[in-house]
Protein backbone atom coordinates (compact mmCIF):
# COMPACT_ATOMS: atom_id res chain seq x y z
CA UNK A 1 0.00 0.00 0.00
CA UNK A 2 1.18 3.49 -0.83
CA UNK A 3 0.89 5.95 2.04
CA UNK A 4 -0.04 9.61 1.79
CA UNK A 5 -0.39 12.44 4.27
CA UNK A 6 -2.45 11.73 7.40
CA UNK A 7 -5.75 13.45 8.19
CA UNK A 8 -4.46 16.83 9.40
CA UNK A 9 -7.94 17.98 10.44
CA UNK A 10 -8.19 15.02 12.81
CA UNK A 11 -4.67 15.75 14.06
CA UNK A 12 -5.68 19.34 14.89
CA UNK A 13 -8.79 18.12 16.77
CA UNK A 14 -6.65 15.71 18.79
CA UNK A 15 -4.15 18.47 19.56
CA UNK A 16 -6.90 20.80 20.80
CA UNK A 17 -8.37 18.07 23.02
CA UNK A 18 -4.94 17.27 24.52
CA UNK A 19 -4.13 20.90 25.33
CA UNK A 20 -7.61 21.53 26.72
CA UNK A 21 -7.31 18.40 28.85
CA UNK A 22 -4.01 19.51 30.37
CA UNK A 23 -5.45 22.96 31.15
CA UNK A 24 -8.50 21.43 32.86
CA UNK A 25 -6.45 18.86 34.81
CA UNK A 26 -4.27 21.72 36.04
CA UNK A 27 -7.33 23.67 37.18
CA UNK A 28 -9.41 20.79 38.55
CA UNK A 29 -6.59 19.11 40.50
CA UNK A 30 -4.97 22.16 42.09
CA UNK A 31 -6.80 21.85 45.42
CA UNK A 32 -6.29 18.11 45.96
CA UNK A 33 -2.72 18.42 44.69
CA UNK A 34 -1.93 21.05 47.29
CA UNK A 35 -3.69 19.12 50.04
CA UNK A 36 -2.12 15.73 49.34
CA UNK A 37 1.33 16.68 48.03
CA UNK A 38 1.89 20.29 49.15
CA UNK A 39 2.39 21.50 45.60
CA UNK A 40 -0.13 22.95 43.20
CA UNK A 41 0.70 21.00 40.04
CA UNK A 42 1.65 17.52 41.25
CA UNK A 43 -1.16 15.80 39.32
CA UNK A 44 -0.52 17.86 36.19
CA UNK A 45 3.12 16.73 36.24
CA UNK A 46 1.94 13.16 36.77
CA UNK A 47 -0.36 13.49 33.75
CA UNK A 48 2.56 14.71 31.66
CA UNK A 49 5.10 12.10 32.75
CA UNK A 50 2.86 9.06 33.01
CA UNK A 51 0.28 9.89 30.37
CA UNK A 52 1.23 12.40 27.71
CA UNK A 53 4.91 11.57 27.13
CA UNK A 54 4.61 7.75 26.97
CA UNK A 55 1.38 8.16 24.99
CA UNK A 56 3.06 10.39 22.42
CA UNK A 57 6.07 8.07 22.14
CA UNK A 58 3.94 4.94 21.67
CA UNK A 59 1.47 6.84 19.49
CA UNK A 60 4.28 7.83 17.12
CA UNK A 61 5.35 4.19 16.85
CA UNK A 62 1.74 3.21 16.12
CA UNK A 63 1.59 5.95 13.49
CA UNK A 64 4.70 4.90 11.58
CA UNK A 65 4.45 1.10 11.54
CA UNK A 66 2.03 -0.30 8.91
CA UNK A 67 -1.28 -0.79 10.70
CA UNK A 68 -1.75 -4.20 9.04
CA UNK A 69 1.01 -5.54 11.30
CA UNK A 70 -1.48 -5.26 14.15
CA UNK A 71 -3.43 -8.21 12.71
CA UNK A 72 -0.55 -10.52 13.64
CA UNK A 73 -0.20 -8.99 17.10
CA UNK A 74 -3.93 -8.78 17.82
CA UNK A 75 -4.41 -12.15 19.53
CA UNK A 76 -1.29 -12.18 21.79
CA UNK A 77 -1.93 -8.57 22.87
CA UNK A 78 -5.56 -9.37 23.67
CA UNK A 79 -4.64 -12.49 25.66
CA UNK A 80 -1.98 -10.54 27.59
CA UNK A 81 -4.58 -7.93 28.52
CA UNK A 82 -7.08 -10.56 29.67
CA UNK A 83 -4.36 -12.07 31.88
CA UNK A 84 -3.75 -8.60 33.33
CA UNK A 85 -7.47 -8.34 34.09
CA UNK A 86 -7.28 -11.64 35.96
CA UNK A 87 -4.13 -10.51 37.80
CA UNK A 88 -5.95 -7.63 39.53
CA UNK A 89 -7.58 -10.29 41.74
CA UNK A 90 -4.19 -11.73 42.81
CA UNK A 91 -3.13 -10.52 46.29
CA UNK A 92 0.01 -8.41 46.09
CA UNK A 93 -0.53 -7.54 42.43
CA UNK A 94 -4.03 -6.07 42.34
CA UNK A 95 -5.15 -3.08 44.35
CA UNK A 96 -8.64 -2.14 45.55
CA UNK A 97 -9.94 1.42 45.76
CA UNK A 98 -13.49 2.58 46.43
CA UNK A 99 -14.80 -0.99 46.47
CA UNK A 100 -13.33 -1.87 43.04
CA UNK A 101 -10.29 -3.94 42.06
CA UNK A 102 -9.16 -2.21 38.87
CA UNK A 103 -5.46 -1.47 39.38
CA UNK A 104 -2.36 -3.58 38.89
CA UNK A 105 0.95 -2.70 40.52
CA UNK A 106 4.14 -3.36 38.55
CA UNK A 107 7.00 -2.09 40.70
CA UNK A 108 6.58 1.66 41.25
CA UNK A 109 3.91 1.93 38.57
CA UNK A 110 0.18 1.29 38.76
CA UNK A 111 -1.81 0.59 35.62
CA UNK A 112 -5.47 0.00 34.91
CA UNK A 113 -5.78 -3.10 32.68
CA UNK A 114 -9.31 -2.15 31.60
CA UNK A 115 -7.84 0.86 29.77
CA UNK A 116 -5.51 -1.43 27.80
CA UNK A 117 -8.43 -3.77 27.16
CA UNK A 118 -10.36 -1.12 25.23
CA UNK A 119 -7.59 -0.89 22.64
CA UNK A 120 -6.52 -4.53 22.44
CA UNK A 121 -10.13 -5.69 22.26
CA UNK A 122 -10.92 -3.28 19.41
CA UNK A 123 -7.83 -4.46 17.51
CA UNK A 124 -8.57 -8.15 18.10
CA UNK A 125 -12.29 -7.91 17.31
CA UNK A 126 -11.55 -5.98 14.10
CA UNK A 127 -9.01 -8.58 13.00
CA UNK A 128 -11.30 -11.49 13.96
CA UNK A 129 -14.34 -10.12 12.13
CA UNK A 130 -12.25 -9.19 9.08
CA UNK A 131 -11.06 -12.80 8.86
CA UNK A 132 -14.69 -14.01 8.99
CA UNK A 133 -16.05 -11.57 6.42
CA UNK A 134 -17.66 -14.35 4.34
CA UNK A 135 -19.35 -15.93 7.37
CA UNK A 136 -20.39 -12.76 9.15
CA UNK A 137 -24.11 -13.59 8.83
CA UNK A 138 -23.70 -17.10 10.19
CA UNK A 139 -25.30 -17.76 13.59
CA UNK A 140 -22.83 -20.47 14.66
CA UNK A 141 -19.64 -19.01 13.17
CA UNK A 142 -20.27 -15.35 13.90
CA UNK A 143 -22.90 -14.54 16.53
CA UNK A 144 -22.17 -17.38 18.98
CA UNK A 145 -18.38 -16.82 19.24
CA UNK A 146 -18.97 -13.03 19.33
CA UNK A 147 -21.31 -13.40 22.32
CA UNK A 148 -18.92 -15.80 24.08
CA UNK A 149 -16.00 -13.42 23.59
CA UNK A 150 -17.87 -10.40 24.93
CA UNK A 151 -19.38 -12.54 27.69
CA UNK A 152 -15.95 -13.55 29.05
CA UNK A 153 -14.90 -9.91 29.23
CA UNK A 154 -18.24 -8.95 30.81
CA UNK A 155 -17.72 -11.56 33.53
CA UNK A 156 -14.26 -10.21 34.44
CA UNK A 157 -15.40 -6.57 34.39
CA UNK A 158 -18.46 -7.30 36.52
CA UNK A 159 -16.23 -8.97 39.13
CA UNK A 160 -14.06 -5.84 39.48
CA UNK A 161 -16.73 -4.23 39.23
CA UNK A 162 -16.26 -1.85 36.29
CA UNK A 163 -19.71 -1.48 34.76
CA UNK A 164 -18.76 1.73 32.95
CA UNK A 165 -15.98 0.06 30.98
CA UNK A 166 -18.30 -2.86 30.27
CA UNK A 167 -20.81 -0.42 28.76
CA UNK A 168 -18.16 1.23 26.58
CA UNK A 169 -16.80 -2.11 25.36
CA UNK A 170 -20.29 -3.48 24.76
CA UNK A 171 -21.49 -0.54 22.67
CA UNK A 172 -18.18 -0.42 20.78
CA UNK A 173 -18.31 -4.14 20.04
CA UNK A 174 -21.84 -3.82 18.64
CA UNK A 175 -20.75 -0.85 16.48
CA UNK A 176 -17.89 -2.90 14.99
CA UNK A 177 -20.11 -5.96 14.54
CA UNK A 178 -22.74 -3.84 12.79
CA UNK A 179 -20.20 -2.29 10.42
CA UNK A 180 -18.84 -5.76 9.65
CA UNK A 181 -22.23 -6.61 8.14
CA UNK A 182 -24.01 -8.49 10.93
CA UNK A 183 -27.63 -9.52 10.41
CA UNK A 184 -30.30 -7.31 11.91
CA UNK A 185 -31.84 -10.30 13.68
CA UNK A 186 -28.50 -11.07 15.36
CA UNK A 187 -28.17 -7.47 16.53
CA UNK A 188 -31.72 -7.67 17.90
CA UNK A 189 -30.81 -10.77 19.89
CA UNK A 190 -27.78 -8.96 21.30
CA UNK A 191 -30.04 -6.07 22.31
CA UNK A 192 -32.46 -8.38 24.13
CA UNK A 193 -29.56 -10.15 25.84
CA UNK A 194 -28.10 -6.82 26.95
CA UNK A 195 -31.38 -5.81 28.56
CA UNK A 196 -31.43 -9.16 30.37
CA UNK A 197 -27.84 -8.68 31.57
CA UNK A 198 -28.68 -5.19 32.84
CA UNK A 199 -31.64 -6.61 34.79
CA UNK A 200 -29.42 -9.29 36.36
CA UNK A 201 -26.82 -6.70 37.35
CA UNK A 202 -29.40 -4.55 39.07
CA UNK A 203 -31.03 -7.58 40.70
CA UNK A 204 -27.95 -9.31 42.09
CA UNK A 205 -25.15 -6.70 42.32
CA UNK A 206 -25.56 -3.99 44.95
CA UNK A 207 -23.02 -1.79 43.14
CA UNK A 208 -25.18 -1.59 40.02
CA UNK A 209 -28.39 -1.36 42.03
CA UNK A 210 -27.08 1.58 44.06
CA UNK A 211 -25.98 3.41 40.91
CA UNK A 212 -29.41 2.98 39.33
CA UNK A 213 -31.20 4.00 42.54
CA UNK A 214 -29.05 7.12 42.78
CA UNK A 215 -29.79 7.95 39.16
CA UNK A 216 -33.56 7.61 39.65
CA UNK A 217 -33.67 9.28 43.08
CA UNK A 218 -30.55 11.41 43.70
CA UNK A 219 -32.33 13.21 46.55
CA UNK A 220 -32.73 10.07 48.71
CA UNK A 221 -29.20 10.01 50.17
CA UNK A 222 -27.50 13.35 49.36
CA UNK A 223 -24.71 12.76 51.90
CA UNK A 224 -24.16 9.11 50.90
CA UNK A 225 -24.41 7.39 47.53
CA UNK A 226 -26.08 10.47 46.03
CA UNK A 227 -23.35 12.87 47.12
CA UNK A 228 -21.27 12.88 43.92
CA UNK A 229 -24.13 13.43 41.49
CA UNK A 230 -25.69 16.11 43.70
CA UNK A 231 -22.40 18.01 43.91
CA UNK A 232 -21.88 17.61 40.15
CA UNK A 233 -25.32 19.01 39.37
CA UNK A 234 -24.66 21.86 41.81
CA UNK A 235 -21.40 22.62 39.97
CA UNK A 236 -23.13 22.62 36.58
CA UNK A 237 -25.93 24.80 37.90
CA UNK A 238 -23.45 27.26 39.40
CA UNK A 239 -21.67 27.57 36.06
CA UNK A 240 -24.83 28.58 34.22
CA UNK A 241 -24.43 29.56 30.59
CA UNK A 242 -20.94 31.08 30.54
CA UNK A 243 -19.35 29.75 33.75
CA UNK A 244 -17.55 31.30 36.69
CA UNK A 245 -14.30 31.61 34.76
CA UNK A 246 -11.30 29.31 34.28
CA UNK A 247 -9.82 28.39 37.65
CA UNK A 248 -12.79 29.71 39.66
CA UNK A 249 -14.60 26.46 40.46
CA UNK A 250 -15.67 26.16 44.08
CA UNK A 251 -16.71 22.50 43.97
CA UNK A 252 -13.14 21.32 43.30
CA UNK A 253 -12.15 22.49 46.78
CA UNK A 254 -12.99 19.20 48.55
CA UNK A 255 -16.71 19.29 47.73
CA UNK A 256 -16.87 17.37 44.44
CA UNK A 257 -15.42 13.81 44.57
CA UNK A 258 -12.79 13.00 41.90
CA UNK A 259 -12.81 16.54 40.44
CA UNK A 260 -9.89 15.91 38.06
CA UNK A 261 -10.86 12.43 36.88
CA UNK A 262 -14.42 11.04 36.83
CA UNK A 263 -16.07 14.40 37.58
CA UNK A 264 -13.94 16.74 35.48
CA UNK A 265 -16.87 17.50 33.16
CA UNK A 266 -18.65 19.08 36.14
CA UNK A 267 -15.66 21.35 36.75
CA UNK A 268 -15.65 22.28 33.06
CA UNK A 269 -19.34 23.16 33.29
CA UNK A 270 -18.80 25.20 36.44
CA UNK A 271 -15.82 27.15 35.10
CA UNK A 272 -16.71 27.45 31.42
CA UNK A 273 -20.48 27.05 31.60
CA UNK A 274 -22.86 25.21 29.32
CA UNK A 275 -21.21 26.94 26.36
CA UNK A 276 -17.84 25.42 27.22
CA UNK A 277 -19.31 21.98 27.73
CA UNK A 278 -21.24 22.12 24.43
CA UNK A 279 -18.08 23.25 22.61
CA UNK A 280 -16.31 20.19 24.03
CA UNK A 281 -19.18 17.98 22.85
CA UNK A 282 -18.91 19.61 19.45
CA UNK A 283 -15.22 18.70 19.28
CA UNK A 284 -16.01 15.05 20.01
CA UNK A 285 -18.75 15.01 17.36
CA UNK A 286 -16.33 16.60 14.87
CA UNK A 287 -13.84 13.89 15.85
CA UNK A 288 -16.53 11.26 15.17
CA UNK A 289 -17.14 12.65 11.69
CA UNK A 290 -13.44 12.59 10.75
CA UNK A 291 -12.97 9.11 12.24
CA UNK A 292 -15.92 7.66 10.33
CA UNK A 293 -14.70 9.35 7.15
CA UNK A 294 -11.37 7.57 7.59
CA UNK A 295 -13.23 4.28 8.10
CA UNK A 296 -15.33 4.81 4.98
CA UNK A 297 -12.21 5.30 2.83
CA UNK A 298 -10.02 2.67 4.50
CA UNK A 299 -8.30 0.37 1.97
CA UNK A 300 -9.37 -2.93 3.57
CA UNK A 301 -11.92 -4.44 5.93
CA UNK A 302 -9.52 -4.62 8.88
CA UNK A 303 -8.65 -0.92 8.56
CA UNK A 304 -12.32 0.01 8.20
CA UNK A 305 -13.41 -1.92 11.30
CA UNK A 306 -10.42 -0.72 13.31
CA UNK A 307 -11.16 2.93 12.49
CA UNK A 308 -14.83 2.42 13.41
CA UNK A 309 -13.84 0.75 16.68
CA UNK A 310 -11.39 3.44 17.79
CA UNK A 311 -13.75 6.26 16.83
CA UNK A 312 -16.78 4.62 18.45
CA UNK A 313 -14.94 3.78 21.68
CA UNK A 314 -13.62 7.33 22.09
CA UNK A 315 -16.91 9.09 21.36
CA UNK A 316 -19.11 6.63 23.25
CA UNK A 317 -16.94 6.95 26.34
CA UNK A 318 -17.01 10.75 26.13
CA UNK A 319 -20.79 10.84 25.74
CA UNK A 320 -21.35 8.41 28.63
CA UNK A 321 -19.04 10.39 30.94
CA UNK A 322 -20.67 13.74 30.20
CA UNK A 323 -24.22 12.33 30.28
CA UNK A 324 -23.57 10.59 33.61
CA UNK A 325 -22.11 13.64 35.31
CA UNK A 326 -25.07 15.68 34.01
CA UNK A 327 -27.55 13.27 35.60
CA UNK A 328 -28.77 11.83 32.27
CA UNK A 329 -27.26 8.38 32.93
CA UNK A 330 -26.18 6.53 36.08
CA UNK A 331 -22.66 7.38 37.24
CA UNK A 332 -20.11 5.05 35.67
CA UNK A 333 -16.65 5.94 36.97
CA UNK A 334 -15.08 6.09 33.51
CA UNK A 335 -12.78 8.88 32.38
CA UNK A 336 -13.43 11.59 29.82
CA UNK A 337 -11.02 10.77 26.94
CA UNK A 338 -8.10 13.22 26.51
CA UNK A 339 -9.41 15.33 29.40
CA UNK A 340 -9.55 13.37 32.67
CA UNK A 341 -6.61 12.78 34.98
CA UNK A 342 -5.26 9.28 34.44
CA UNK A 343 -1.95 8.26 32.92
CA UNK A 344 -3.11 4.88 31.58
CA UNK A 345 -6.21 6.39 30.01
CA UNK A 346 -4.38 9.22 28.23
CA UNK A 347 -1.49 7.04 27.06
CA UNK A 348 -3.73 4.34 25.59
CA UNK A 349 -5.97 6.96 23.96
CA UNK A 350 -2.93 8.50 22.25
CA UNK A 351 -1.76 5.10 21.00
CA UNK A 352 -5.23 4.59 19.51
CA UNK A 353 -4.99 8.02 17.85
CA UNK A 354 -1.67 7.02 16.32
CA UNK A 355 -3.33 3.95 14.80
CA UNK A 356 -6.30 5.98 13.51
CA UNK A 357 -4.00 8.54 11.88
CA UNK A 358 -1.98 5.65 10.46
CA UNK A 359 -5.08 4.27 8.75
CA UNK A 360 -5.83 7.74 7.37
CA UNK A 361 -2.50 7.69 5.50
CA UNK A 362 -3.73 4.79 3.39
CA UNK A 363 -7.31 6.00 2.93
CA UNK A 364 -8.63 5.92 -0.62
CA UNK A 365 -8.98 9.23 -2.38
CA UNK A 366 -12.50 10.69 -2.55
What pLDDT is stored for residue 365 in this prediction? 63
The H or E element that residue 110 is part of is strand 109-111
Domain ranges of the chain: 8-361
The 10s digit of each residue's pLDDT in 334-364 is 999 999 999 889 999 999 999 999 999 998 7
Angle between helices 113-131 and 144-159 (to 10 degrees): 180
End-to-end alpha-carbon separation of the chain, Å? 17
Tell me the whole-structure pTM to 2 decimals. Answer: 0.94
- Find, among 315, 359, 347, the residue nearest to 7 by Cα: 359
Q: How far apart are CA 52 and CA 46, in angstroms?
A: 9
Give the number of other Cβ atoms within 10 Å of residue 278's Cβ. Answer: 14
Q: How far apart are CA 353 and CA 70, in angstroms?
A: 14
Q: How far apart are CA 175 and CA 274, in angstroms?
A: 29
The 10s digit of each residue's pLDDT in 109-137 is 677 888 999 999 999 999 999 999 899 99
Phi, psi of 224 (to 5 degrees): -115, -115
**Strands lying side by side in the sheet with 109-111:** 94-97, 100-106, 109-111
The 10s digit of each residue's pLDDT in 196-250 is 988 988 888 777 888 888 887 777 667 777 888 889 999 999 999 999 999 999 9
Q: How far apart are CA 157 and CA 153, in angstroms?
A: 6
CA distances from 94 to 79, 87, 98, 111 (A): 18, 6, 13, 10
Residue 131 CA neighbour count, 13 Å, CB half? 12
Mean pLDDT of 82-96: 81
Tell whether the model's pLDDT for residue 74 goes beyond 90. Answer: yes
More confident residue, 161 or 13: 13
What pLDDT is stored for residue 213 in this prediction? 82
What pLDDT is stored for residue 98 in this prediction? 59
DSSP 291: H
The 10s digit of each residue's pLDDT in 15-41 is 999 999 999 999 999 999 988 888 889
What pLDDT is stored for residue 225 in this prediction? 77
Give yes or no for a contact between 334 and 317, defined as CB atoms under 8 angstroms apart. yes
Tell whether the model's pLDDT for residue 366 goes beyond 60. Answer: no
The 10s digit of each residue's pLDDT in 95-112 is 666 566 777 877 666 778
Mean pLDDT of 166-195: 95
Amino acid sequence: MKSRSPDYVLLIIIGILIVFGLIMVSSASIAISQEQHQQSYYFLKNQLWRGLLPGLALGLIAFFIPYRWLKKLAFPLFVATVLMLVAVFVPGLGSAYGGSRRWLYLGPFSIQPSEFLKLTFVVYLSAWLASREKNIKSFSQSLVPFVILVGILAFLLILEPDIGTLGVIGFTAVAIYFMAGAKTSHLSLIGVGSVGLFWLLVKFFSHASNRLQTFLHPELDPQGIGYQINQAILALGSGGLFGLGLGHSLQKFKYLPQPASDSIAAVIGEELGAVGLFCLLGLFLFFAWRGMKIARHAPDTFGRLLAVGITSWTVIQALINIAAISGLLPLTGITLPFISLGGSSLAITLVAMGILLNISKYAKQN
